[in-house]
Amino acid sequence: MAEVQDYKQVRRYETFSYLPPMSAEQIRAQVQYIIAQGWNPAVEHVEPERSFNHYWYMWKLPMFGERNVDTVLAELEACRREYPKHLVRLIGYDNYTQSQGLAFVVYRG
């Protein structure tokens, strides 16, 4: 049976926000998808109270040409350790369309 939630009280962020939290395997699969598409992964973070602003802080530079899933996951975890109360999201930048191909919140502070 589905769990009924008070959606007015729960903030939703990005692509997968209405689903249950992702497992480590599901996050890994999304990182693999970003890399398989040839997109450049990037990590961003922000305080929860500022999360609806358009500007999030970038964690380092985008990982241009990164093909190793473990490197991307390590950067996500490093950002989470540095800013434990922040929201941390992963973005896949598509060079061809010059836009975000995928963006979702990985960790919710």
Residue 7 has pLDDT above 60, yes or no: no
Please answer whether residues 89 and 106 qualify as being in contact, where contact means their C-beta atoms are separated by less than 8 angstroms.
Answer: yes
Residue 69 has pLDDT above 70, yes or no: yes
Domains of the chain: 24-107 (3.30.190.10)
Residue with tokens 């991307």: 72
Short-list 39, 100, 47, CA closest to 72:
39
Q: Please count the CA atoms within 13 angstroms of the CA of 10 that sit on its side-chain side.
A: 10
Tell me the C-alpha to C-alpha distance, in Å, between residue 55 and each of 43, 61, 66, 96: 13, 15, 24, 23
> Looking at residue 101, what is its pLDDT?
94
> Looking at residue 54, what is its pLDDT?
82
User: 8 falls in which pLDDT band (50, 70, 90)?
Assistant: low
